[in-house]
Amino acid sequence: MLNVTSIWAIYRREMKRAFGTLVQTILSPVLTTSLYFIVFGSAIGSHIGKIDGVDYGAFLVPGLIMLTVLQQSVANASFGIYFPRFTGSIYEVLSAPISYWEVLIGYVGAAATKAMILALLILATSAFFVPLRIEYPLVMVLFLVLTCVTFSMLGFLIGILAGNWEQLQMAPLIIITPLVFLGGAFYELKMLPPFWQNVSLFNPVLYLVSGFRWSFYGAGDVPIAASLGMITLFMAICIVAVWRIFATGYRLKP
């Protein structure tokens, strides 16, 4: 039976930590995203025109939300588990009557929740800058939840595997940001030369951005089924990786 009290204790503590650092956790990403809208959406976007009948500013919204969600999910979850590893206070979690999977639910649940709150804040902020429409709100929510949970799990893995602070910060920086920037967050796939279009198809984030954009405007770079398939595959890979770590106790239990 699930140890709900213990899971809730971890979840609550992680959420409290986020609200304790409100500027870093909430305001900073919202401000950054607003700047993107001003610079790319208004200043540059006014010279680009419409993409598939959508204003460039509005076209940016799903990509910017994805950029923030991926970065924040990974950053929050990796910090959440790495910090107690760093201070040593992880001993308490590991000696509690709670399974590894329950620990995962607590940390990943909190990181995913924070990322979702951010996504909704950015969505609300974008409404001030661009005309928004969401054609498939349920698909949007489904995509958002799956993406937040999956990448929070990836962050959890990074937090367990990281050997120092530099590794912890480098992983999102050198993996997530390039993948999102090259995954169609700011452009449509067919804007690229054919060679780079083919290369981009190997970028898993392209499928996430495309699927999320499809839920807004009914069009994407790849079919929605491919996007859903990719996020499901990503989640499965993360679950297997987490399971291996838990099974062996790697970096957790000597």
Partner 1 sequence: MPLIEIQNVSKTYVGGHQALDDVSLDIEKGEILALLGPNGAGKTTLINIVCGLVTHTDGRILLDGRDVTAEYRQTRRDIGLVPQEMPLDPFDKLIDNVAFSRRLFGLPHAPDRIEAILRDLSLWDKRDNRLLTLSGGMKRRVLIAKALAHEPKVLFLDEPTAGVDVELRRSTWDVVRRLRDSGVTVILTTHYLEEAEEIADRVAVIDKGRIQLVQDKDVMMRSLGAKKLIVELQAPIERLSDDLAARGFELEPCGARAVVSYDPSEADGLAAAALAAFAAAGVAVRDISTEQSTLEEIFVGLIGDANKGASS
Instruction: Note the residues at the interface with partner 1 (CB under 8 A).
Output: 3, 5-6, 8-10, 12-13, 16-17, 20, 83-84, 87-98, 249, 253-254
> Counting Cβ atoms within 10 Å, is residue 127 exposed (0-12), middle (13-18) or buried (19+)?
exposed
The minimum distance between CB 11 and partner 1, in angstroms, equals: 10
The minimum distance between CB 88 and partner 1, in angstroms, equals: 3
The minimum distance between CB 9 and partner 1, in angstroms, equals: 4
Q: What is the distance between the alpha carbons of residues 238 and 232, in angstroms, rounded to a whole number?
A: 10
Q: What is the distance between the alpha carbons of residues 112 and 153, in angstroms, rounded to a whole number?
A: 9
The minimum distance between CB 96 and partner 1, in angstroms, equals: 5
The minimum distance between CB 98 and partner 1, in angstroms, equals: 7
User: Based on CB atoms, which residue is closest to partner 1, 8 or 165?
Assistant: 8
The minimum distance between CB 141 and partner 1, in angstroms, equals: 30
User: In the 3-class helix/strand/coil scheme, how is 146-205 assigned residue by residue?
Assistant: HHHHHHHHHHHHHHHHCCCHHHHHHHHHHHHHHHHHCCCCCCCHHHCCHHHHHHHCCCHH
Q: What is the distance between the alpha carbons of residues 189 and 203, in angstroms, rounded to a whole number?
A: 12
Contact 110, 11 (CB under 8 A): yes
Q: What is the distance between the alpha carbons of residues 91 and 96, in angstroms, rounded to a whole number?
A: 9
The minimum distance between CB 2 and partner 1, in angstroms, equals: 11
Contact 67, 185 (CB under 8 A): yes
User: Based on CB atoms, which residue is closest to partner 1, 20 or 53?
Assistant: 20
Q: What is the distance between the alpha carbons of residues 188 and 222, in angstroms, rounded to a whole number?
A: 10
Q: What is the distance between the alpha carbons of residues 211 and 214, in angstroms, rounded to a whole number?
A: 5
